[in-house]
Amino acid sequence: MHKAIFLDRDGVINVDHAYVHTPEAFQFINGVFSACKAFQDNGYKLVVVTNQSGIGRGYYNESQFQHLTEWMVAQFDEHGVTIAGVFFCPHHPKNALGDYRKACDCRKPFPGMLLQAKAQLGLDLANSVMIGDKASDMEAAFAAGIPTRVLVRSGQDLSEACSDKATAVVDSIAHVPDLLI
């Protein structure tokens, strides 16, 4: 079993410009590559878990999301960082079209994506870490039994940057290696 760093995407890996779905609009947060390299060098697998209700809302489709994901993973590769998996939730309980509108168990704050990653990748959640910019990230990790839950303030919506489930709060992912390593 591998320990893992779970990464929310928008507001953690990239600046959250809301419903980002093209490489042109995807702006990496300063220091994200070197932070992830440090995690990897210390034995953590890197797993992205991202709510993407923009798919359900019809703002972009799954193939656009996958295209952006392949591009993002390639950028990490170029910096010597392997992303072990990217898990996404396209649903929304109210504001989504057709089959995408449902009360799923994968949309954070529910832990479904984290549990799916654990099963697929053989992850040791009790020694893993969540990095997110919203309370829902912290709650999903708490529900999954992830003990270290780091809230970053780099997301656009600072009103979301508080949670009683966070075990640490820092300005951005660039500061997380100092906490963990």
* Contact set with Mg ion (CB under 5 A): 8, 10-11, 133
Least distance CB 6 / Mg ion (angstroms): 12
Residue 10 annotated in active site: yes
For residue 115, the tally of other CB atoms under 10 A from its CB is 19
Q: Which is nearer to Mg ion, 115 or 161 (CB)?
A: 161
For residue 57, the tally of other CB atoms under 10 A from its CB is 16
Angstrom distances, CA of residue 132 to CA of 41, 42, 98, 102, 145: 21, 20, 29, 24, 15
Q: Which is nearer to Mg ion, 8 or 139 (CB)?
A: 8
Least distance CB 1 / Mg ion (angstroms): 27
Residue 8 annotated in active site: yes
Q: Which residue is nearest to Mg ion (CB)?
A: 11
Least distance CB 75 / Mg ion (angstroms): 18
The set of catalytic residues is 8, 10
